[in-house]
């Protein structure tokens, strides 16, 4: 999906919601466990219930990899089921030497039809560049995350300011706003004004709203640019809104609340 197509989806749906399909087989409703593929069945119902309210889906690959072959099959079926009208994110946090990253890019951009993949920048330019070589595909690079461990490295002072600032300034030169986004955690709202000054035109994937306590209002006020420029992810708050047979209905209700609030900020 291109930048212009993503912006069009945001404007049409009046939403910048990304639904996180962090599907944990131990947390899905028990009645689904009799299905031949309970994870895909769960995902399918969540997608059907929310697809008109969101512009993106984020699949956290760890929850699928943990299940072995069946998990990979569920992930592949899910990403195909989502289709082309939504921005599809592989939350895989890959990042390795160039030839290995090249294989990761082929796995998620060619073997599976994801639009983007989250990438760790620690190993430098040659570990990120392979993800930027695919037309219409995106690298979403870790910038400033929501976890408490962000203090260990990301928020440490360097000779050129905070380390995450150095990451944003350096990585932004490797790609363009057409193929490069950054992960910025919702709980780091105080930093958003500074971050937007450093990367005025890039999109941000913003996890941490909902269960992790980030404020949608604060993020929207501080992080938006003229093209919206943010995808706000909510996972547990939506997909685990109910443990019963009404899980999809309840998921839609929560997603609708997010979409309605987002429409007031656009």
Question: For residue 206, what are the β-bridge partners?
Answer: 232
Task: Give the mean model confidence (pLDDT) for residues 233-262.
Answer: 97
Phi, psi of 196 (to 5 degrees): -65, -30
**DSSP symbols for 65-117:** HTTTHHHHHHHHHHHHHH-SSSEEEEEEEE--SHHHHHHHHHIIIIIS--SEE
Per-residue pLDDT at 16: 98
Asked if 248 contacts 45 with a C-beta cutoff of 8 angstroms, the reply is: yes
Per-residue pLDDT at 183: 97
Is residue 190 over pLDDT 90? Answer: no
Give the global pTM.
Answer: 0.96
Residue closest to 223 by CA, chosen among 176, 173, 188, 257 = 188
Is residue 187 over pLDDT 90? Answer: no
CA dist., res. 64 & res. 91, Å (int): 11
Q: How many domains does the chain have?
A: 1
Is residue 210 over pLDDT 70? Answer: no
Task: Give the mean model confidence (pLDDT) for residues 174-179.
Answer: 98
Q: Is 245 left (phi over 0), alpha (psi -120 to 50) or beta?
A: alpha
For residue 34, what are the domain limits? 3-265
For the chain, report the end-to-end CA distance as a whole number of angstroms. 21
Is residue 217 over pLDDT 90? Answer: yes
How sure is the predictor about 160, in pLDDT bands with cuts at 50, 70 and 90? Answer: confident
Per-residue pLDDT at 214: 76
CA dist., res. 10 & res. 263, Å (int): 10
Angle between the 216-223 and 247-265 helix axes, to the nearest 10 degrees? 40
Residue 72: CATH number of its domain: 3.20.20.70
Per-residue pLDDT at 186: 87
Averaged confidence pLDDT in the chain: 95
CA dist., res. 126 & res. 140, Å (int): 15
pLDDT in tens, 2-58: 999 999 999 999 999 999 999 999 999 999 999 999 999 999 999 999 999 999 999
How sure is the predictor about 211, in pLDDT bands with cuts at 50, 70 and 90? Answer: low
Task: Give the mean model confidence (pLDDT) for residues 99-116.
Answer: 97
Question: CB under 8 Å to 120, separation ≥6 — which residues?
Answer: 93, 94, 95, 141, 142
Catalytic positions are 93
Q: Look up residue 25 and give its two tokens.
A: 């087989």
- Least confident range of 76-90, 173-187, 204-218, 248-262: 204-218
Asked if 119 contacts 140 with a C-beta cutoff of 8 angstroms, the reply is: yes
147 or 60, which is more confident?
60
């Amino acid at each position: 999906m291109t930048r212009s197509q993503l912006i069009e989806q945001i404007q049409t749906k009046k939403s910048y919601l990304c639904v996180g399909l962090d599907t944990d087989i131990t947390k899905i409703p028990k009645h689904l466990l009799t299905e031949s593929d309970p994870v895909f069945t769960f995902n399918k119902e969540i997608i059907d219930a929310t697809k008109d309210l969101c512009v993106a889906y984020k699949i956290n690959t760890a929850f699928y990899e943990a299940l072995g072959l069946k998990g990979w099959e569920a992930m592949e079926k899910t990403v195909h089921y989502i289709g082309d009208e939504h921005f599809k994110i592989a939350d895989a946090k890959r990042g390795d030497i160039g030839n290995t990253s090249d294989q990761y890019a082929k796995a998620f951009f060619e073997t599976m039809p994801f639009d983007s993949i989250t990438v760790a920048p620690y190993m430098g330019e040659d570990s990120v560049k392979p993800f930027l070589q695919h037309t219409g595909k995106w690298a979403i690079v870790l910038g400033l995350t929501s976890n408490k461990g962000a203090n260990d490295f990301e928020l440490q002072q360097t000779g050129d300011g905070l380390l995450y600032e150095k990451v944003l300034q350096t990585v932004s030169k490797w790609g363009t706003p057409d193929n490069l986004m950054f992960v910025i955690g919702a709980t780091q709202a105080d930093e958003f004004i500074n971050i937007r000054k450093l990367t005025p035109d890039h999109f941000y994937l913003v996890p941490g709203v909902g269960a992790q306590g980030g404020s949608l209002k604060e993020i929207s006020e501080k992080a938006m640019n003229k093209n919206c420029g943010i995808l706000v992810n909510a996972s547990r708050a939506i997909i685990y809104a109910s443990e019963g047979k009404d899980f999809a209905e309840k998921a839609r209700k929560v997603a609708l609340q997010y979409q309605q609030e987002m429409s007031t900020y656009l």
